[in-house]
Amino acid sequence: MEKFDPQRPLWLYKLREYLLLFDGSSEEERMLAYRYGWHIFSSNRQHFEDFAHFIRRRKWFIYLSLIYPIILTFLSLLLALSVLTIDVTLKVPMALIFSGITAGIIYNLIGNTLKNIRETGIFLKYVDPTEKLANFREFETLDFLDREAALHFYENMRTKRDYAKIETFENKLDKTEKLLALDFLLGDPGTLNELINKLCLDHNCSLSKEGVYRVLGEILSASSDNIKKDIIRGVKEIRSAENLSSKRIEQLRNVQGIFHQSKLALKANEIDRLISGGGNLIYEAKSSRNFTPIKNIKCPSR
């Protein structure tokens, strides 16, 4: 875990990449290094384009680093041929041996890296979120400690086998479920309401709460009064998991299904813990919403 420490700062990760510390001896290790790198960039609120630019730019640093061992070898050859006071018939073999050792060191240190550089373009094209969204989402589900999954992903990449496109949701969430999903995405219970309060109290915004509720109502196709009621009381009650009715459980399960299909396993697990903590209720979402029951689906680790 030390190699892929998720708490490592961005600048230190970049330094370790420049020092070739993530260039493993196998293809799956490089896939894990890519996944880890994107995790660090994403944690620092940077876009995939920033990460792609970095790993493209990295190759020029590696090409420049080849100059130093070449200069060292050249100077060593000069030393062996002009400074050493031994017979000339021994100078050439010594220079050849020394050059061979230096070439071997360069190959071991840089050779696999140069192979990775050639595959960088293939990788970036394969997971380009604007062109290959399904591949990108599969890449994001990789755990950077799972070598077996990384090898399988690498094999698909090399054979240009794309992952199946994620199906669009046939049924929309209702108004309460949409607000629930937003609240879960924002973090702790009531964060959505706190955000609205902050917008209205901020002198630079000068927004009215009723105006915000009306806008949300237009977006979610509901009346502003119902939006206000759900934000202030309904969503908060559901997230507190006190005396959840079967309807509330169904709403939570439907939101959980959206998180599962969107590859947000942590949020899906959060809902699972919420339901489990709210009583010994065992409930499956009704088939009328055409969501697959998900209580037995194992969430991928992140």
pLDDT in tens, 5-25: 888 899 999 988 887 788 766
The residues near 199 (Cβ < 8 Å, ≥ 6 apart) are 205, 207, 212
Residue ranges covered by each domain of the chain: 10-158, 175-289
* 62 in Cβ contact with 114 (< 8 Å): yes
Mean pLDDT of 219-228: 83
Cα torsion through 190, 191, 197, 199, rounded to 10: -160
Q: What is the pLDDT of residue 283?
A: 34
Mean pLDDT of 138-160: 89
Task: Kindly state the greatest CA–CA separation across the chain.
Answer: 98
* 215 in Cβ contact with 159 (< 8 Å): no
Determine the Cα–Cα distance for residues 27 and 151; give it in Å rounded to an integer: 7
232 vs 163, more confident: 163
Give the 3-state secondary structure of residue 106: helix
Q: What is the pLDDT of residue 300?
A: 42
Closest to 234 measured CA to CA, from 179, 173, 174:
179
Q: What is the pLDDT of residue 291?
A: 38
Cα torsion through 265, 266, 271, 272, rounded to 10: 70
pLDDT in tens, 151-180: 999 999 999 899 887 665 555 788 888 888
Give the 3-state secondary structure of residue 132: coil
Q: Above 90 in pLDDT, residue 137?
A: no
* 242 in Cβ contact with 276 (< 8 Å): no
CA angle 143, 148, 151 (to 5 degrees): 95
Q: What is the pLDDT of residue 154?
A: 92
280 vs 43, more confident: 43
- Mean pLDDT, the chain, rounded, equals 78
pLDDT bracket for residue 99 (50, 70, 90):
low
pLDDT bracket for residue 95 (50, 70, 90):
low
Determine the Cα–Cα distance for residues 185 and 264; give it in Å rounded to an integer: 10
Q: What is the pLDDT of residue 293?
A: 39
Determine the Cα–Cα distance for residues 144 and 136; give it in Å rounded to an integer: 15
Q: How far is CA 130 from CA 48, 102, 143, in A?
A: 10, 44, 22
pLDDT bracket for residue 225 (50, 70, 90):
confident
Q: What is the pLDDT of residue 203?
A: 76
Give CA 67 to chain center in angstroms.
34
Q: Above 70 in pLDDT, residue 230?
A: yes
Percent of the chain whose predicted confidence (pLDDT) is above 70 = 76
Percent of the chain whose predicted confidence (pLDDT) is above 90 = 12
Q: Above 70 in pLDDT, residue 302?
A: no
Mean pLDDT of 255-262: 82
Token pair, residue 186, equals 């924002």
